[in-house]
Structure formats: C-alpha cells, structure tokens
Chain A
Amino acid sequence: MKSVDVTIDGQIYVAKEGTLLIDLLIKHDLKVPYFCYHEALGADGNCRMCMVEIEGQKRPQIACDTLIKEGMNIHTKGEMIDSVHLDVLELELINHPVDCPVCDQAGECKLQDYYMEYGLHDSYISKDEKVKHQKHIDLGSNVILDQERCVLCARCTRFTSDITKTHELGIIGRGDHARVSTMPNRKLSNPYAMNVIDLCPVGAMTSRDFRFKQRVWFLTSTPSICQGCARGCSIYIDHNRPKNQDEKIYRFRPRRCDDVNGHFICDVGRLSYKGLQEGRLRVAYLKEQESDIDRAIESYREIVDSSKGSTILLLADANLYLEELERIVEYAQSIGASVATPIKSYIDEEFGDEWLRSSMRASNAKAIEKLGITTELPKGDISLLISFNHPDADRIRADRVISLQTHLDIVDRYDVTLPLATYVESSGTLINIDGIEQYSPKVITPNDPIPTVVEWIDRVEGGAI
C-alpha cells in the first residue's frame, strides 16, 4: 500500500492508502466519537457517531467505513459535523434511563463522556415515553445486562460470533425494541465471556464481580502481566487504598498487546486477582507455632548450617521472576545446594486452548528453561528442602523442610514457614510461552510489606536483620 497525504482539520497526515480513516484518527488521538467500532472487531457502521465531513462529498460519512484516499480533506469539527454528533447522541440517549448515579459504568462510560463533549442538551422526552426493557439480567459468566442502557453497538454479539465463535449473544426485536439477549435456553458461557464487559462502551454490561465495589475514578490503573498461565497477557490492575485499610486490587482488565494477547484476556486470568488477596500468609511459623520473624530467621539459619555438607534441595516456583530465580541459583551455590523445579504440577491440559489459554499454568516456565534449572527431582534422600513457593513442597520427602510461601495452605508440617510477597508486590522479568520477555512492575505496597524472594535471601544471608 502506498503512503498518501490527507488533510484533517487543516493538518497534513501521512497514511496508507486504503486503510480505515477511523484508525488514523485514533492513532493520532484526533477526537472522534464512536460506539460500535473496535479495532479487534472491525467496522459495523451501526452507531453513526464517527461522522466526519469529507470535502467533495454531499453527506457526512462515517470514519469507520471510509477508506483513505490521496488528497482527502477531512473535517472532524465545524458547525455541520458538530450538530451531527449532537443529533446522533441525542438519539442514543432518547430511550436511555439516564441512571448514572446508580450505574457502575459511570466514570468510564462513552455516553457520559460524549454527552459532556458533544451533547450538553436538555432532554426532550419524558420518562413515561421511554421504551422500557429488562434490567439486571444475569447472562451468566459474571455478566449482568441492563437492556435499557444498551446502545446496540453489537460489540458483544460480534465478540461471541466473530472472536469466540460461541454465538451465545444476539440481538432480538426490531427498531427501538431491539435488545441484546442470549439465545433461547443458553447462558453466556465461554472462557472469555467477561471481555464483553470491557467491550461494552456503556453500562449495559457490567461485571457481577466488580460492580458496586468501587467507583472507577477512585482507582489507579497500573500496567502489569497476568500470571494465570504461561501466556503472560498484558493487563491493567485497578487498585487503591481505601481509607484506613490496606491496599486492595479490585479487578484485572486486558491491556492491548499485539504480540501476546491482542485486546482480550480469559476469565480465569481476569479473576485471578482474588487469589492475590485471599488466604495470604502474613506471619512466620515454626512447625505449627506462630513465630516472630527474628526467631524464624534464626531457626532457618540453624537448620541450613546444620545441613551443610548433606543434600540440600532448593525448590523454585516457576512463577517467580527471572531475577528472583537467578538469585535462588546464586544462593544455592553459596550453600552447596542444588535447585529444581518439578514442572508436572503446573501442567493442566484441560485449561489450554488454541487461543490465549496455555496448558502450562506457570507464568515463567521459560525462564526455568533459560536458567537450566532441572525440572526433575534429583534421586536420593534429601536432608533439607527449601521451597520457594513451589506447589509440591509438601509432597516431597525430606528430613527437614523450610517453606517460603505466599499463601496459608499448609504450614504445620514445615520446620520453618516464612511469608512471601506475591508478584504484584514485587517486580521482574517474565518469559512467556513463546519466549517473549516482559517486565512486570510492582503494583501495590501493603501497609506491612512482606519480603520478596530476593529480600529473604538477602536477609538470611546477610546477618543483619
């Protein structure tokens, strides 16, 4: 495709001929309102919001169905096109319940944004004249539908028909009685269903899991990587610190990454934030006894010292960051231990699919491979096992066991149990199933920070506590 010059609002832009005008507008952050267009779903042309004025054309044209041609002169503002935006928006809102105060989408709603930008008109229709539809319909898969708030952009139905090809959703009825619905006797049930919540530009589809928990304008979004499996999907973690409480994560949202996950994530990954907060281990244990950290570290050192010369095995979790794994390998050398990451417990054939979900559930299995850490258990007796959050810690026979772990699970079996930070409380590099390296920053800092792998090793080695 050849590059051509087009003029938009008096500025010249270079674009590929034959590509969609709306993509150019989005790319250059030129304001154009739209509901139905989505880069992953393509143009549908039903909302009629993305109208622009093209010189030489009698009527306004939708940018999502306009192909770029040499020398086009486009106006996204001006008296005529402003009134078109206002008019179409007024129609979108005519049967809308305008229930923003109780709508969970408020703050991230396109209708709200566009009303402030293009509308600011008075309502002409009375509440009794509005078309009534069903509200809070449980579609399944944590998706709640409010048909009255829907603008019928068909993003959700296109997602289930074009992307997941599961066809649960459709539009039924005609005219202003048209509404989104599941097919008769079917629920929305596919492993990626909750993406329709992000796709929905308005408050028609909200998450049963997230709704009413927090107003979005109180949330901080931090880019991160999902660790639900080895795909390493890009996400936003929405979190905040409620007054007098500890830092809290409310939801994961997909973050666009063309190399890995495109625009979407799976529901299991999306809901995996819960595991980062529930059932966490926050104190140290000596056998079944709670212990203060100093005593626990003392015991740790005693056990390691007395085991030197015999077989010590360090078990490294395949979800740890590359930097953390490197530190474990280094530590093993210093105490004459070997490192292993038994890999079988991470494999879940039923979880894997042909799209995003990988049957390798460990997020950093490729880093284990890269560092040459063995994935088999060494033969022979083990006198000391130190597990860095490995799921097999309690299944491996050893004379003595030290476990650093993020969650409560089992504590009473081990000689020493130390609490460990989760991946959102730490930072480092992940290598996904296709060998793509991604950096995952630290997202939250709890009021009482729990040490990371590196911090623990530094402490047990360093002497000073």
Chain B
Amino acid sequence: MRECRIVSKRFDTPNSHTLKVAKELGAYSAIDIAFGMTPVEIIEIIKESGLRGKGGGGAPAGAKWELMPQDQKRPSYLVVNCDESEPGTFKDRQIISKDPHLLIEGIIITCYAIRAKDAYIYVRGEYYQFQKILQDAIDEAYEAGILGSGVDITIHRGAGAYICGEKSALLESLEGKRGHPRLKPKQKEPEWYFGNPTLVNNVETIASVPYIIEHGASGYREFGTPKSPGTLLFAMSGHVERAGVYEAEFGTPMMEYIDHYGGGILGGKKLKAVIPGGASTAILTADEVKLATLDYEHMRSIGSALGTGGMIVMDEDTDMVEALKNLLEFYHHESCGQCTPCREGTGWSDTILDRVLSGRGSSKDIDKLLDLANIMDGKTICVFAPAVAIVIRSFIGKFRSEFEAKVAK
C-alpha cells in the first residue's frame, strides 16, 4: 500500500498543533502561492483537482465554491463543519487537535477564493478538549498576524445535536435557532447565513486545500481514482486489532486497508460485516467487503456509500439484531423531530426492535420494520430518515435469518 499523507503529514510530530512546530514543517507556505493567484483561479484549481466534500456526501467541492458570488454585494461567509457526530467517524478531531494550523491555512485560502472575511468553525459540543487546542492555535495565529488582517475565525460550539451536522440545520443553529434542516432550494444556490451567501465545507475538505494549492490539481490527482481523486482520513473502529484513523487514497481495497492498518480482525476471529462510512451507510457482508474498494463510485455500485469513511468492523460473534438496535436507539435519540416520518418512524422502529429483542416480537414485526423503512425513505426534508431506511433495509436484507431466529423463540 502506498503511503499518502496529505492532511495527516504532521500528525506524528510531537507538538504539531503549535504554530512553531507546524511552521517548521511547512505550514502556511501555501498562502503566499494562493495570494499570487486570483480567487477565480483558485476555484478553477479546486475544480480541476476533483476535490470532493469529505463530510460524507462526496459532492464536488469546486462546484459548491463556484456558487459563491464574487461581486461582494453582500458579505460572504465560510462555515467549517466540525460537528462530527456520525457514529464510527472520528477524523476531523484528529485535524483540529493534531494539525489545527493546516485547517487555519485552508480557511485563509478558501476565504480568499470566495471573498469571505469571516469564517466560523462549528465544533461539536462534546469536542471540548479538541476545541481548546483549536482555539489556542487560532489565538497563536492572531498573535503572529496570520489572522486578523484579512480573515477572522470564530469557533461556535454546538450543543450536542447530531442533526446540526446537516449543513442547513448547522446554519440555523449558528443563527441561534433550533437546529432544524431547511427546505431545499429549488435551484443551485449557496447556503445562507442570516441571508448572506455562505459556503459550508467539512474540516477535512478545507484542510486538503493547502496541498492542492502547493502541488496543483495534478499533484492531488496522483492519488485516488479519476472520479474520486485524492485521499481520505479513513477510520476504523470495532473488532480490529488497531482501531484508529489512517489516511489512505481513494480506491484502496477495503480488506487490504483493514489488514494493513487495522492489523486484521480482533483476536484472529472471522469478519462478519462492516458498516463502511459512518453508521448511516448500508452494511456490507464479509463477502462484499472482500471485493470492496474505498471510493465513492464502487461503494455506490454495491448499494452502499463511502460516507465519511469511518468503518465499523464486526466479527463473527456480533449479534446483528443487537447491532441494529444500537443504531436505531441512536437515530431515535437524534431525530430532530421536525418532519413526521422521521420523528415518529425512528421511535417506532426502535420500539418494534425492542419488542423483538424482548421476545414479544413476531415475523409481522420484521415486515413492519421494512414497511417503516419505506415510509421514512424519500419523504422528509433532510436525508436523516432515508439513511435510517437504508440501515434497516440492509441489516434485515442481509441478515434476515438472525431476525427470524429472534422472533421464532
């Protein structure tokens, strides 16, 4: 496997979060290059690089940047999404705690490209200690004059709602309102923060920008596949020997990644299944994992998604009904409650699985769960409920016998 360190290049150096160490290792060298270009040129490079949003959706970043008006009739904003709450995902916190200056550098370049003077970093409320490291780094950057003269960065701490990772709910929350996703616009347009055009990007997306500026679009495209260029901070948790975050290029075979970085399945047991990209992606069986490669196109072709790249590995002893219950409890707890199918559907499916696990279930319950998945799919404002539908369908679809066994007792 090829080593590729685009955003994690300074992770292993002690005190890499301090300005001194980061600078010695080349931080902020991309800024001068960026300032030698016009904003539109930067956006062109980002488009050419094929950089894709790394928060889970994988939408082309350049296309999003391009929607930002360059006319400066109204102030533009950059909002960095660090509300990392997807179960199995813990990559952004590595960036803000191990190399916050990389993020700051990315923010400065991005702000220049979209002509924004203010950036907000929306940090998950539970990330208290990581947020402190990031704040210290921002303070250092202000003292050194890196920030303050052109770009201001403000950290906003979330209050613990998963849904605030959805960009429009995040903006509502940032505006001081209840974190509810907004109705989707009718045409392509930027996001809006207090009625002003706003770009919302994931931490890792922004942290990838300095590398692209320094090495050019072709430098970035040396990694990954033609359609999924570059790298991702993939993460592993669950039944592996060495759980953690390891950067790898798109297109890496999943099994190879798990064996190489994760050291194989915990205790030498057999692999049963992997949830590939954070909880909200369709689960893959061991057979599917053996053929899977880590890129958006392949994962989609096998009916799942790359998501955030946070893999949850399960060994042969895992009870799939219990595993699904664990996830449904999470969704039940985190549904924002705005639209009916999600508000009631997540709770109800959790209740049904509770029936099944407590021995009061019938095979009717399993079908009802699948019904509910259909009801929740495609009828809500955001993609929370459709994700739950995917999870339910994939678990029951691929491990139905385990569910049947629970209701047969």
Q: Give A residues with C-beta under 8 Å from B.
A: 43, 45-49, 51, 58-60, 65, 67, 84, 87-88, 90-92, 94-95, 124-125, 129, 131, 151-152, 170-171, 173-178
Contacts and interface: CB of A to CB of B under 8 A. Distances in A.
Nearest to A65: B183
A174 B336 contact: yes
Contact of B379 (A51, A90, A174): A51
Given A129-B351, A176-B346, A59 B379 contact: yes
A67 B186 contact: yes
A77 B381 CA distance: 22
B48 interface: no
B381 A46 contact: yes
Contacts of A47: 339-340
Contacts of A178: 336-337, 343
A37 to B, nearest CB: 12
Nearest to B336: A174
A359 B327 CA distance: 59
B380 A95 contact: no
A91 B375 contact: yes
Contact of A176 (B347, B375, B378): B347
A59 B344 contact: no
B23 interface: no
A90 B344 CA distance: 9
Interface in B328-343: 332-343
- A-B pairs, 9 with minimum CB distance: A178-B337, A176-B347, A175-B335, A91-B344, A59-B378, A87-B375, A175-B337, A45-B183, A46-B339
Nearest to B338: A46
B379 A45 contact: no
B368 interface: yes
22 contacts: A45-B183, A45-B339, A46-B381, A47-B339, A48-B339, A48-B341, A48-B379, A51-B379, A58-B378, A60-B379, A67-B186, A87-B371, A88-B340, A91-B348, A129-B351, A175-B334, A175-B335, A175-B342, A176-B332, A176-B337, A176-B343, A176-B348
Given A45-B183, A175-B333, A176-B332, A91 B378 contact: no
A90 B347 CA distance: 13
Nearest to A93: B344
Given A43-B183, A46-B381, A94-B348, A175 B340 contact: no
Nearest to B335: A175
Contacts of B163: 174
A355 B161 CA distance: 38
Contacts of B178: 170-171
Most buried by B among A46, A60, A88: A46
Given A45-B183, A175-B333, A152 B378 contact: no
Interface string B344-356: 1111100100000
Contact of A88 (B336, B348, B351, B379): B379
A174 B334 contact: yes
Nearest to B364: A124
A110 to B, nearest CB: 13
B127 to A, nearest CB: 20
Interface in B294-339: 332-339
Tell me the dominant secondary structure on chain B's binding face.
helix
Nearest to B162: A174
A152 B337 contact: yes
A92 B332 contact: no
A151 B379 CA distance: 17
A19 to B, nearest CB: 13
A228 to B, nearest CB: 35
Contacts of A129: 351
Contacts of A92: 340, 344
Contacts of B335: 174-176
Nearest to A51: B379
Contacts of B332: 175-176
A88 B183 CA distance: 18
A221 B338 CA distance: 34
A129 B351 CA distance: 7
A101 to B, nearest CB: 23
Contacts of B334: 174-175
Given A48-B380, A175-B334, A125 B351 contact: yes
Given A84-B379, A125-B348, A178-B343, 5 more contacts: A60-B378, A94-B347, A131-B347, A174-B163, A174-B335
A177 B332 CA distance: 10
A177 B336 CA distance: 9
A58 B140 CA distance: 51
A317 B300 CA distance: 78
B236 to A, nearest CB: 29
A151 B340 CA distance: 8
A94 B342 CA distance: 12
B166 to A, nearest CB: 13
Given A48-B339, A91-B340, A175 B346 contact: yes
Nearest to A64: B183
B217 to A, nearest CB: 34
Nearest to B354: A129
A82 to B, nearest CB: 13
Contacts of A124: 368
A174 B375 contact: no
B345 A91 contact: yes
Contact of B344 (A65, A170, A176): A176
A65 B341 CA distance: 17
B192 to A, nearest CB: 16
Most buried by B among A60, A175, A177: A175
Given A48-B380, A152-B337, A178-B337, A88 B347 contact: no
Contacts of A51: 379
Nearest to A178: B337
A286 B351 CA distance: 75
B381 to A, nearest CB: 6
B341 A88 contact: yes
Contacts of A151: 340
Contacts of A91: 340-341, 343-345, 348, 375
Contacts of B344: 91-92, 94-95, 176
A98 B270 CA distance: 50
A97 B332 CA distance: 20
A92 B344 CA distance: 7
Given A45-B381, A65-B183, A129-B351, A175 B343 contact: yes
A177 B333 CA distance: 9
B369 to A, nearest CB: 12
Contacts of A125: 348, 351
Interface in B392-406: none
Contacts of A46: 338-340, 381
Most buried by A among B163, B338, B340: B340
Contacts of A131: 347
Contacts of B368: 124
